């Protein structure tokens, strides 16, 4: 349909309503009791109604949820999909030259690359922490073993010393040594 310009009633009569002043020419809904525009009488300006909107040319865009649906389309919209599938769809779309309407491809790829790098870095940090913890456990075990060995040595040395003291108390034992 033809595009119409809708203006308020009596706009031709008063300067403040838009006579010779384009900025003031605006539409206001007719609300009066005997208003001729509201009653749709002949010879009066048209009222804003459903049906006057201009038709826009629409491109047919298909909603995609997996990589297989991508083929044979020029423009698509990626539906509710996780980042893993979305990444696959974006990469394949770049190869096929398909435009994706609801994703900024460059920004999305940078974001995914950054996330991947962060995950790898966290994984390395976790592995390093695990190695350090294992080293500490090994060192503790070594330390405990050494302490036990030292105790055993001290115990043996103590027993020898006690034996010598006992020998020194008994003169018979001293003679056996000589």
The CB density around residue 76, as the number of other CB atoms within 10 Å, is 20
pLDDT category at 11 given cuts 50, 70, 90 is confident
Mean pLDDT of 2-7: 78
| pLDDT tens column, 60-103 | 788 999 999 988 888 899 999 999 999 999 999 999 999 999 99
Contact by Cβ (8 Å): 78, 62? no
Q: What are the tokens at 164?
A: 């010598």
What three-state secondary structure class fits 106?
helix
**What is the percentage of the chain residues whose pLDDT exceeds 90?**
50
Measured CA to CA, the distance from residue 103 to residue 89 in angstroms comes to 11
pLDDT score at 162: 63
pLDDT score at 54: 79
What number of helices (H) and strands (E) belong to the chain? 3, 3
pLDDT score at 170: 63
Contact by Cβ (8 Å): 77, 100? yes
Measured CA to CA, the distance from residue 85 to residue 92 in angstroms comes to 11
Q: Average per-residue pLDDT in the chain?
A: 85
Contacts of 108 (CB under 8 A, 6+ apart): 86, 87, 90
What element of type H or E holds 57? none
pLDDT category at 34 given cuts 50, 70, 90 is very high
Q: Which residues pair with 76 in a beta bridge?
A: 62, 100
Q: Which residues pair with 77 in a beta bridge?
A: 63
The domain ranges of the chain are 1-57, 62-103
Contact by Cβ (8 Å): 108, 97? no
How far is C-alpha 96 from the geometric centre of its chain's CA atoms? 26
| pLDDT tens column, 146-177 | 888 887 777 777 666 666 666 666 656 555 55
The candidate with the shortest Cα–Cα distance to 75, out of 57, 56, 58, is 58
pLDDT score at 109: 94
State the virtual CA torsion across 146, 152, 155, 157 in degrees, nearest 10. Answer: -80
């Amino acid at each position: 349909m033809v595009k119409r310009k809708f203006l308020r009633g009596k706009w031709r009569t008063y300067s403040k309503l838009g006579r010779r002043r384009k900025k003031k020419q605006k539409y206001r809904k007719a609300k009066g009791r005997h208003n001729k525009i509201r009653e749709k009488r002949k010879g009066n300006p048209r009222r804003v109604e459903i049906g006057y909107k201009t038709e826009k040319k629409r491109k047919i865009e298909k909603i995609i949820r997996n990589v297989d649906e991508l083929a044979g389309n020029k423009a698509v919209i990626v539906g509710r999909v996780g980042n893993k599938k979305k990444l696959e769809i974006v990469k394949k779309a770049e190869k096929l030259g398909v435009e994706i309407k609801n994703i900024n491809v460059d920004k999305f790829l940078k974001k995914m690359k950054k996330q991947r790098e962060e995950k790898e870095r966290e994984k390395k940090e976790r592995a390093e922490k695990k190695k350090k913890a294992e080293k500490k456990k090994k060192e503790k075990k070594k330390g405990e073993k050494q302490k036990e060995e030292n105790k055993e040595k001290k115990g043996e040395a103590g027993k020898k010393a006690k034996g010598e003291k006992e020998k020194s108390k008994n003169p018979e034992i001293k003679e056996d040594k000589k």
